[in-house]
Structure 1
Amino acid sequence: MRSIVGLIVVITAATFYLYILSSYLPTGPRQLPPKATENEEKSDIDTNKDSGEFKEHRLKFPSDLVELRELAELLQFYKTEHTGYVLLLFCSAYLYKQSFAIPGSSFLNILAGALFGPWQGLVLACVLTTVGSTMCYLLSQAFGKRYITNLFPGQVSMLQRKVEENQSCLFFFLLFLRFFPMTPNWFLNMSAPIVNIPVTFFFFSVFIGLIPYNFICVQTGSMLSEVSSLDDLFSWGKVLQLLCIACVALLPGTLIRHYSQTHLKLDGLEENNGVNKKTQ
């Protein structure tokens, strides 16, 4: 009971902090209501300013690419005037999602590429992914061991057995799970302390193992911020760039898979994909 109360306190405090941070925004852009046409915008822009018919953008987690692009445009405005605020808000939202195993980190990785560029965005995404996953590990270690074991007894038992079988090359086993997620990343983050994975192995396996995934998402976000139409996206230059991104991202996974065929014991691990079905 005490662990549940502690977890609720942590979640409540983090949620309140994020709410306060996103509520007290600096002065931001305003736009006409969606029904206004271009002609109406030109003729009525002065009168609407005084009548208060403009609506303010509001910050929220994006659920699709349209919302993601709108959020990226809004934050780009804030970034030019309030760089520190945007960085703090982005980092806080990312760590919140990762720490509490909330889906949607791919959208935030894409947003990182759109806001901070391909290389700064990649470094930021890798650091935040690693820190957030480690915070999830520590929260699970402090509050969730009994509940996760009760919710997913078969999956935890299978992962425990595979960790014991691969003790001699545990770090490469963890890298394999990140490159080829037979076990979902959120489940691995929460169950790692239960199956006695050292936090140092966990930390560096997340940082290295998720570089290809973060790289693809961030590069995609950087490209989306530069195109204005589908014709731009499917130009020869962009297609070649996408192919290069795919090749670079697939190379580490190919090497790890080759290593796993002779050194790792993975039989039966795919059964842990049942975790996905339980959460759908």
Structure 2
Amino acid sequence: MRSLVGLIAVVAAASVYLYSLSLYLPAGPRRRPPPPARRERVDTDESPGSSAGEDSRLKFPSDLEELRELAELLQFYKTEHTGYVLLLFCSAYLYKQSFAIPGSSFLNILAGAIFGPYEGLLLACVLTTVGSTMCYLLSHAFGKRYIVNFFPDKVSVLQRKVEDNKDCLFFFLLFLRFFPMTPNWFLNMSAPIVNIPITFFLGSVFIGLLPYNFICVQTGAMLSEVSSLDDLFSWERLLQLLAIAVVALLPGALIRRYSQTRLKLDVQSQNGLITDKKVQ
């Protein structure tokens, strides 16, 4: 009971902090004068209630349209309030990762749209690693008993596979990140229960999710720069898409080749988890 109360207290405190941070938007930078043809419509939009409308849009995006609107708003504020936008983005990302809330792909895309392909990728990789580690620590402190009670079979299967591959545990964890037979959220929460060292956990998250983060961030960076279909199908964009495909496929192919000779893995999955069939 004490662990449940502690977890609820942590979630409540984090929620209050994030909500408070989203409410105290600094004064936005002055907009550029709009073209004459649009001036009348913009003046109508920028009524006294328009700033409240912008504030209300500070929420986790649930689709691409909300993602686009949020990216435009944060890009607008980033011109003069980079520190605030960075703090808000990091806080929201860590909130989702720490409490295993779905939707990290939208935030990765948002990172590319706001911070660019390189800074966005570094930020996404660091935040993914830190947030997953916080989830690991929260599970270790508060959630062990509940996870075992809710997912006894899944924890048992994962425990057995960890023991089978303890001689090459780091590569086994990389395999699970590249080929998520076990969902990432479940692996983050169950890792301390099946005795995965936190050092191996950290490295496997940073390296194993790098291709996924790269794809999402590059997608966000491209979408923020594309204004027409002609831009999307230019040689520069096509080369970027080719690079994304190589980065996504090459590490996975190398890990799979290594797994066929060194790891004791299952080639089929059942109910989101690996089965008992081993690779010879």
1:182-261 matches, within 5 Å, as 182-261=181-260
2:278 matched to which residue of 1? none
- 48, 52, 64: which one pairs with 2:48? 52
**DSSP-derived class of the 1:144 partner:** helix
Structure-1 separation of matches of 2:24 and 2:172: 44
1:272 Cα deviation from its structure 2 partner = 5.1
2:3 and 2:142 in contact (8 A); partners too: yes
Structure-2 separation of matches of 1:47 and 1:158: 60
The answer to whether 1:12 aligns with 2:12 is yes
1:244 Cα deviation from its structure 2 partner = 1.6
1:43 matched to which residue of 2? 40
2:150 matched to which residue of 1? 151
Number of matched residues?
267
Q: TM-score, normalised by structure 2?
A: 0.89
**Alpha-carbon displacement from aligned partner over 1:98-146 (angstroms, at most 9, x marks no partner):** 0000001011111111111111111110000000000000000011111
1:30 and 1:54 in contact (8 A); partners too: no
In structure 2, relative to structure 1, the CA distance for the partners of 1:119 and 1:237 (3 Å cut) is: same
Kindly report structure 1 stretches of 4+ aligned residues shifted beyond 4 Å: 44-49
- Cα root mean square deviation, aligned: 2.1
Tell me, which stretches of 5 or more residues in structure 2 are unaligned? 275-280
1:243 Cα deviation from its structure 2 partner = 1.6
**Alpha-carbon displacement from aligned partner over 1:66-90 (angstroms, at most 9, x marks no partner):** 1111111100111111010000000
Q: Which amino acid aligns with 1:12?
A: A
2:131 matched to which residue of 1? 132
Equivalent pairs: percent with the same residue?
78
Tell me, which stretches of 5 or more residues in structure 1 are unaligned? 32-37, 276-280
1:159 and 1:269 in contact (8 A); partners too: no
**Alpha-carbon displacement from aligned partner over 1:31-85 (angstroms, at most 9, x marks no partner):** 9xxxxxx96x533655775x63646212011111111111111001111110100
Structure-2 separation of matches of 1:24 and 1:173: 44
1:237 Cα deviation from its structure 2 partner = 2.9
Structure-2 separation of matches of 1:253 and 1:25: 42
